Amino acid sequence: MRAAAAMAVAGLLVTGCDDGKGGSAAAEPEARPSASPAPAWKTRPESIASLGDSITRGFNACSILSDCPDASWATGTQVDSLARRLLASPQTSSWNHAKTGARMSDLPAQMRAAVDNKPQLVTVLLGANDACRSDVGEMTPVDTFRTDFEQSVKELRTALPTSQLYVAAVPDLKRLWSQGRTNGFAKAVWNLGVCPSMLRDAGAEDAASAERRAQVDKRVGEYNAVLADVCRRDRLCRYDGSVHDYGFTGEELSKWDWFHPSKSGQRQLADMAYRTITAARPPA
């Protein structure tokens, strides 16, 4: 009996348990370790590196045709900047790598410079110069814009996987035109070469001018769609569409070019960034 029982047990071990339907039940899969939770967003990062173009450099905010990083919405000390609101020591824990005239193709290099600082938060406000060209045919193609932005995010994630990323939308260039097109000073200075694809001949109402402005407006919308999409797929990125939605007043624009933010406009940008970064949840 013992020999027969042993042989029966051995047979079951070899053939597996019957499933009641003439077959053998499959072995249960091994338990897998649970995936590590995504890092939580820090509403109070302790260091900031800011990337972008002339807006983040504070161009024309303090004096004509000059950068004024001390007035920057991101890292400035002369305005209530993001760095002053968030950091215990803005002078030693924030870095401004933005460059006047920069386009999205310049962002990967700026990101590599930021990585060297090992910031807990990186801010990006970039894209207006990709649309502000001498003619609409020279605007950066959307696919190229996407490739450069994706490469920049990859640079950050490869080197600093837990650093946070704040991405501001490209401002509304057509709204700016609409607000200044009846202002004699704005029209005169814009014709000197300020964002010609949108702002030249600001008073013109012919079909060709309207079509030109519509194409720039459409491209800005496409750029913002790229920024939002790429950011949405990154677990530590927040896209801020309010920067595009905001209508800057004359007092919030530089008195020298009616295009770049004044110190008052820089404070508004800081307000929007601060709300998005310190919110318990990302904007919808």
Backbone phi, psi, residue 35, to 5°: -65, 145
Region 222-244: what's the mean pLDDT?
Answer: 98
Choose among 253, 133, 93: nearest CA to 183: 253
> So what's the pLDDT on residue 11?
37
Beta bridge partners of 52: 125
pLDDT confidence bin for 37, thresholds 50/70/90:
low
Q: Are 199 and 135 in contact (CB under 8 A)?
A: no
For 55, the enclosing helix (H) or strand (E) is none
Q: Are 259 and 190 in contact (CB under 8 A)?
A: yes
CA distance 263 to 271: 12
Sign (positive or negative) of CA dihedral 11, 13, 17, 22? negative
Amino acid of residue 235:
R
CA distance 33 to 35: 6
For 130, the enclosing helix (H) or strand (E) is helix 128-131
Q: 10 Å Cβ neighbour count for 256?
A: 17
DSSP category for residue 24: B
Tokens of 240: 């801020």
Q: 48-278, what's its fold? A: Rossmann fold (3.40.50)
Region 186-200: what's the mean pLDDT?
Answer: 97
pTM: 0.86
Q: Are 127 and 220 in contact (CB under 8 A)?
A: yes
At residue 78, the 3 state secondary structure works out as coil
* Cβ partners under 8 Å of residue 50, min gap 6: 56, 72, 74, 75, 82, 94, 95, 96, 97, 98, 122, 123, 125
**pLDDT surpasses 90 at 172:** yes
Region 173-187: what's the mean pLDDT?
Answer: 96
CA distance 188 to 177: 13
At residue 239, the 3 state secondary structure works out as strand
DSSP secondary structure of 85-106: HH-S-HHHHEEE---TT--GGG
Q: How far apart are the first and last CA of the chain?
A: 72
Q: What percent of the chain has pLDDT over 70?
A: 87
Choose among 55, 208, 72, 184: nearest CA to 135: 208
**pLDDT surpasses 60 at 83:** yes
> So what's the pLDDT on residue 183?
95
CA distance 274 to 32: 40
> So what's the pLDDT on residue 127?
98
pLDDT digits (tens, 9 = 90+) for 1-27: 433 333 333 333 333 333 444 444 444
Question: Beta strand 121-125 with 237-240: parallel, antiparallel or unpaired?
Answer: unpaired
